[in-house]
């Protein structure tokens, strides 16, 4: 399989879907000539023209509103919001319109839109540009929230999202764009709402999504050196949530840690922990643990930013404690 970056995998998915279906079009700020803030759409305006790669004003509400209306007429818009931090301005269109259209119209109207947006923390972007807000949207019935961790998943899930009839928030962590990985050639489509076991293990289950999956895998490597076998479950989506795969893993290992970058209270980890306790309480030898970002707006200073984000060593030390090991290094 060819190796490519996460960015290139997304680009190829968009290009292939636009070639396949003339109803697919892109819209967003600076996605044409400039190629998008993270260069995912670079070159597409040259191939498909300005009517299918639509440059918009700086108006997130307008972008999502336009996409919603276009989707109801049979088109399949893929909108880029420059960062999830800016999507708050367009939240009304997404939550009160797009997510509710199929229900309110009794299925007679659909809203097959994809909203692509970078999320995640790091690079000293400070409080207003480093938020992890996907849990807000996963709370809403009628929405899908997809968050791939690898280039192969990014391509397969984006292509599936574009073909799906539900409104979808497609979350891309900003620190993953340069991540490289093998991507299958040909028609590569993954089912939405299906988790993936990225690493088999016997002693403890590490549950994560997006960039946190890479942290979980690094923690699993460190734990293996100490004789602890960790299984890593990549959720890949927050809604639909594949709790069956999670519970199956927990029933095997009897221990679980949920890892994500967002805030702890009311975050994705809280829901996953609750579901595990509801479905696999008798299988747990220890309460479900959550390792998350600190309950503060993310600081600008490098040292404080680092202290506010979850770390691989946090996972390793917590797993060691749960399993009764006294000392585990990273």
Whose structure tokens read 């599936």? 160
Long-range contacts of 97-105 (CB under 8 A, 24+ apart): 97/65, 97/68, 98/64, 98/67, 98/68, 98/71, 98/142, 98/143, 98/167, 99/140, 99/141, 99/142, 99/143, 99/167, 100/142, 101/68, 101/72, 101/167, 102/142, 102/165, 102/166, 103/142
Q: Is 282 helix (H, G, I), strand (E, B) or coil?
A: helix
Within 8 A by CB and 6+ apart from 289, the residues are: 256, 257, 258, 318, 322
Tell me whether strands 196-199 and 230-234 are parallel, antiparallel or unpaired.
antiparallel
Establish whether 60 is a catalytic residue.
Answer: yes
Q: Which of 11, 17, 80, 129 is catalytic?
A: 129
Segment holding 153, helix H or strand E: helix 151-163
Catalytic entry in 60, 231, 289, 305: 60
Backbone angles phi, psi at 210, to 5 degrees: 55, -140
Sequence-distant (6+) residues with CB within 8 A of 120 are 130, 132, 173, 174, 175, 176, 210, 211, 261
Q: Give the whole-angstrom CA distance, residue 15 versus residue 24.
A: 10
Which residues, at least 6 apart from 141, have a Cβ–Cβ distance to it below 8 Å?
Answer: 99
- Whole-number Å distance between alpha carbons of 177 and 34: 17
Whether the Cβ atoms of residue 218 and residue 245 lie closer than 8 Å to each other: no
Query: How many residues are there in the chain?
Result: 330
Instruction: Read off the tokens for 309.
Output: 């984000």
Q: Which two tokens stand for residue 87?
A: 């999507």
Question: Is 10 strand, coil or helix?
Answer: helix
Catalytic residues: 60, 129
């Amino acid at each position: 399989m060819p190796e490519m970056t996460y960015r290139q995998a997304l680009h190829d998915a968009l290009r292939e879907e636009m070639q396949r279906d003339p109803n697919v079009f892109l819209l967003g700020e600076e996605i044409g000539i400039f190629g998008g803030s993270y260069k995912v759409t670079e070159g597409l305006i040259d191939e498909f023209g300005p009517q299918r790669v639509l440059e918009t004003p700086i108006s997130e509400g307008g972008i999502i509103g336009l996409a919603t209306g276009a989707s109801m007429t049979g088109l399949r818009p893929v909108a880029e919001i420059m960062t999830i931090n800016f999507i708050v301005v367009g939240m009304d269109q997404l939550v009160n319109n797009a997510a509710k259209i199929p229900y309110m119209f009794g299925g007679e109207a659909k809203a097959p839109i994809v909203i692509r947006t970078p999320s995640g923390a790091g690079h000293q972007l400070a409080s207003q540009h480093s938020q992890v807000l996907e849990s807000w949207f996963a709370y809403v019935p009628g929405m899908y929230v997809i968050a791939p961790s690898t280039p192969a998943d990014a391509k397969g899930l984006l292509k599936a999202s574009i073909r799906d009839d539900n409104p979808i928030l497609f979350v891309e962590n900003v620190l993953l764009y340069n991540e490289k990985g093998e991507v299958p050639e040909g028609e590569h489509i993954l089912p939405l709402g299906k988790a993936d076991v990225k690493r088999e293990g016997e002693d403890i289950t590490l549950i994560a999504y997006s960039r946190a999956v890479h942290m979980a895998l690094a923690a699993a490597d460190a734990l293996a050196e100490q004789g602890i076998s960790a299984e890593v479950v990549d959720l890949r989506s927050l809604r639909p949530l594949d709790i069956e795969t999670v519970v199956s893993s927990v029933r095997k290992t009897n221990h679980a840690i949920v890892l994500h970058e967002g805030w702890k209270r009311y975050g994705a980890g809280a829901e996953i922990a609750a579901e595990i306790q509801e479905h696999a309480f008798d299988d747990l030898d220890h309460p479900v643990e959550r390792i998350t970002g600190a309950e503060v707006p993310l600081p600008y200073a490098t040292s404080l930013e680092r202290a506010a984000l979850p770390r691989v060593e946090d996972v390793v030390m917590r797993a060691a404690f749960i399993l009764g090991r006294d000392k585990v290094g990273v």
